Structure 1
């Protein structure tokens, strides 16, 4: 394990976690952000369609 590069980025987290956990965490974070953006977009469409009666695509 080359600890020099990894310790400079995330000293307390990445150095102690195995690689698989790090990859899973990254994927989970990305999918959470994507879900959040989709939810915000859906919420915005609902608000615009409900309050302003605009045509929603």
Structure 2
């Protein structure tokens, strides 16, 4: 059995109800991303190394 993903909200959720953000679930080989407002819809899953490179690029070019 595959364990349920441990979803975490973005630290940049903003004010109000915090539903204007994304959530991520990390695993040893892949990272899943979903829209907080539409949790039941499809998720985007990418290799963890690609997601780490994406975050690094965002930090370098705000």
Structure 2 length normalisation: TM-score? 0.37
Bigger RCO (CA 8 Å, 6+ sep) = 2
Higher strand share: 2
Higher helix share: 1
* Larger-gyration structure (1/2): 1
Structure 1 length normalisation: TM-score? 0.40
